[in-house]
Amino acid sequence: MMWVLLLVAGLAALLLTGALRRYALANSLIDTPNARSSHTVPTPRGGGVAIVISFCVMLPVFAFMGVIDGAMTLALLGAGIGIAVLGFLDDHGHIAARWRLLGHVLGSVWALFWLGGLPAVTVFGASIDLVWLGHVGAVLYLVWMLNLYNFMDGIDGLASVEAITACLSIVLIYSLCGFADLIWAPALLAVTVAGFLCWNFPPAKIFMGDAGSGFLGITLGILSLQASWVSFNLFWAWIILLGVFIVDATFTLIRRLVRGDKVYEAHRSHGYQFASRRYGKHLPVTLAVAVINVCWLLPIALCVTLLGLDGLLGVLLAYLPLILLAVKFQAGQLEVAKH
């Protein structure tokens, strides 16, 4: 029965994305290329709303069936819908950065209330209870996750592929580790994103928009914090699986902060953006991220959760080549203007 519901959710996202594309075209909701764009063809935007609707409608059904916890459902729905609405409004107009940030903090606090905050952190075998500092850190973590996902949604299919590979990888890990009861929320997210990806795969027929990317970022963050209450190694696994986005976005942000840039302004200096311009297409970069996630990050996450590799050590091992890639592709460097 649950697998049938997953299929329905995926088909709903597929059909809704098509309907949203028609709506965007009819109402001129078009993302027109400019100097800070990574695309060259005017493209409808706002397709990520299909992910939000499909996931949020089906989530209570899964909760009613008893496969997703009630508190987790409230955390995901409250924070996810709030962030999506904020992103939708920003997509259709403009909301000042300070008000967006306030909304992000409130959504994160809501989620943490239902999750119970942050449990004791396990580092090199030692369990450390950070008390209120841990809760503050968890809020900052969720705010950063939803923003970095927005930053990384800049080329066709990338944000979708990242979410699908991370979610399917964690479903495998949960199953192998004996936590099969946790698979349904990430599985539901994976299938709804897959429905959208049918329209967003390079060359994209519609873009996700801030509503979709922000929703994905905070939802993945909430799922990872839920896992930390079951086993902190599962949280480390999430951090490893999302490594491409975390490293590129964080490396770029730090470099821009050091240079004194206005970090809230749009730019195209992420490593993946430099890479897509170097190769002249989005597809090779999107596929490369999928390969890295499955062939490099997933095996390390499995070592952490199944073979006893220390979680923080696993993160450092996983991130080292990603940092080298960020350096190679000049993440955060000013783009040289062409004359």
Q: What is the pLDDT of residue 110?
A: 98
Helix or strand run (H / E) with residue 127? strand 126-128
Closest CA to 72 of 182, 168, 172: 182
- Percentage of the residues of the chain whose pLDDT score is greater than 90: 83
Distance CA 274, CA 255 (A): 15
Record the tokens describing residue 209, joined without a space: 């928009």
| pLDDT bracket for residue 161 (50, 70, 90) | very high
- Quick one: CA torsion of 275, 280, 283, 287, rounded to 10 degrees? -30
| Mean pLDDT (whole number) for 249-272 | 88
Q: What is the pLDDT of residue 339?
A: 37
Q: What is the pLDDT of residues 79-109, one digit of tens each?
A: 999 999 999 998 777 788 889 999 999 999 9
Average pLDDT along the chain: 93
Q: What is the pLDDT of residue 38?
A: 62
**CA 35 to each of CA 28, 44, 247: distance values in angstroms, whole numbers, following the listed order:** 20, 18, 25
pTM over 0.85: yes
Distance CA 25, CA 37 (A): 19
CB atoms within 10 A of CB 84: 28
| Mean pLDDT (whole number) for 152-156 | 94
The domain ranges of the chain are 2-231
